[in-house]
Amino acid sequence: MSEMTVEDLQAALARYASARGEVFPSALGLIDAECHPTGRVWEVAGLLMTDQEEMRYLSGGNRPDEVADTVGRWAESKLSLEQIKTVIEAAASCRGPPPAGALRRRRHPDHPR
């Protein structure tokens, strides 16, 4: 295959999406076995799609279009692959789990229900 484009990546991810339309990092291995893609889009996809939760967080979802669009934006940037990797790792380390009960309204024990 020639250099992978964002459109190629989106189509390939769609072929390996789950019945619910979700993309998983394991799709990269299947795509690689199928067409041996090359290029910056493919390299950035490899950085972004190492972990399901991280990919979902950075892409704002895990549908093929969401992931491919995010990969495309990173691929178009002037950052080196090493710089992109550093940013992704920093974002993952800062994210952390949501605080327990963050959406639950707490009442004082003496407050009438």
Cα 10 from chain centroid? 12
Determine the straight-line distance between the first and last CA of the chain, rounded to whole angstroms.
65
Alpha-carbon distance of 24 to 40, in angstroms, equals 20
Two tokens at 6? 């964002």
Measured CA to CA, the distance from residue 54 to residue 5 in angstroms comes to 22
Helix (H, G, I), strand (E, B) or coil at 32: helix
Residues 69/45, Cβ–Cβ less than 8 Å:
no
List of residues 6+ apart from 15 with CB closer than 8 A: none
- Report whether 107 contacts 113 (CB < 8 A): yes
The string of pLDDT tens digits covering residues 86-105 is: 998 888 777 665 544 444 44
Span 35-75, pLDDT tens digits = 999 999 999 999 999 989 889 988 989 999 999 999 999 99
Q: What global pTM score does this model have?
A: 0.80
Query: Cα separation of 7 and 11, whole Å?
Result: 6
